[in-house]
């Protein structure tokens, strides 16, 4: 059974600080990884995807991947109150036809 | 372009009635997912369609739940003999196999009285 683990939170971070969201996964065959954001009462939307070990930056967001440790993280720099949401991690297997499994998500609260 | 659409947006039904929820995926997307999300909870996977392959029904919570995808496009999730615990938001998402990025619809909020 493939598992995706995220700390449910809530994670409280002061405005302007760095928020660090973590995700571990059990399937060593996972090849790509997605981070989604879900605002309360809304549907999830993609923030970033990462395929290679290391860091990938997009604006204030940085995704970090370590396949050997089966660990992927999302850093949010200069956190804003508008970043308050639930962040979902979703690894994808090598076989593109396999379904993608989401973690339960981490609730992030940015303190003004 | 048009995104994923779902109908109805809200559905109130009485316990024991059957309901049908509809999902129109993005044109050309071969993969389609149904999820259920109860208040304050994570996404609960229900069923996955990929192209012409047999659907992955491993997430359906009981045999009261079923889903179809006609012509590789529109999908309908049917819940028979609804129970109060079926009350939730039902989300549909579609994706291309090449990218895997899921695009979610706005959801259907189901309330069973």
Q: How far is B82 from chain A (nearest CA, A)?
A: 23
Residues 6+ positions from B101 with CB-CB distance below 8 Å: A34, A46, A49, B95
Query: pLDDT tens digit string along A34-58?
Result: 999 999 999 999 999 999 999 999 9
Residue listed under structure tokens 């449910």? A8
The two three-digit tokens of residue A55, written as one number: 């860091």
Query: pLDDT tens digit string along A52-98?
Result: 999 999 999 999 999 999 999 999 999 999 999 999 999 998 787 88
Under an 8 A CB cutoff, do B51 and A104 touch?
no
Residues in chain B: 113
* pLDDT of res. B1: 58
Q: How far is A91 from chain B (nearest CA, A)?
A: 10
- For the cut 80, the answer to whether the pLDDT of residue B71 exceeds it is yes
CB-CB contact of B112 with B90 (8 Å): no
Strand A61-66 versus strand A71-76 pairing type:
antiparallel
Distances (CA, A) of B108 to A7, A58, B40, B90: 27, 32, 16, 5
Looking at chain B from residue 3 to 62, which residues have their Cβ under 8 Å from any Cβ of chain A?
33, 41-43, 45, 48, 50-51, 53, 56
């Amino acid at each position: 059974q493939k598992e995706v683990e995220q700390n449910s939170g809530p994670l409280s971070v002061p405005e302007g600080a760095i928020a660090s969201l973590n995700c571990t996964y059990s399937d060593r065959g996972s090849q790509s990884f997605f981070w989604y954001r879900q605002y309360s009462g809304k549907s999830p939307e993609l923030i970033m995807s990462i395929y290679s070990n290391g860091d990938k930056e997009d604006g204030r967001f940085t995704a970090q991947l370590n396949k050997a440790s089966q660990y992927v993280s999302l850093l949010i720099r200069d956190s804003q109150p508008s970043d308050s949401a639930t962040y979902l991690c979703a690894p994808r297997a090598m076989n593109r036809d396999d379904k993608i499994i989401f973690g339960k998500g981490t609730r992030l609260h940015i303190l003004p | 372009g048009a995104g994923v659409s779902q109908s109805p947006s809200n559905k109130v039904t009485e316990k024991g009635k059957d309901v049908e929820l509809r999902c129109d995926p993005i044109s050309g997307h071969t993969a389609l997912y149904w999820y259920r999300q109860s208040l304050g909870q994570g996404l609960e996977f229900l069923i996955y369609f990929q192209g012409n392959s047999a659907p992955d029904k491993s997430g359906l919570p009981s045999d009261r739940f079923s889903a179809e995808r006609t012509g590789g496009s529109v999908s309908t999730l049917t819940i028979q003999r609804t129970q109060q615990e079926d009350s939730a938001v039902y989300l549909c998402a579609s994706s291309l196999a090449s990218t895997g990025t899921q695009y979610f619809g706005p959801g259907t909020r189901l309330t069973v009285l």
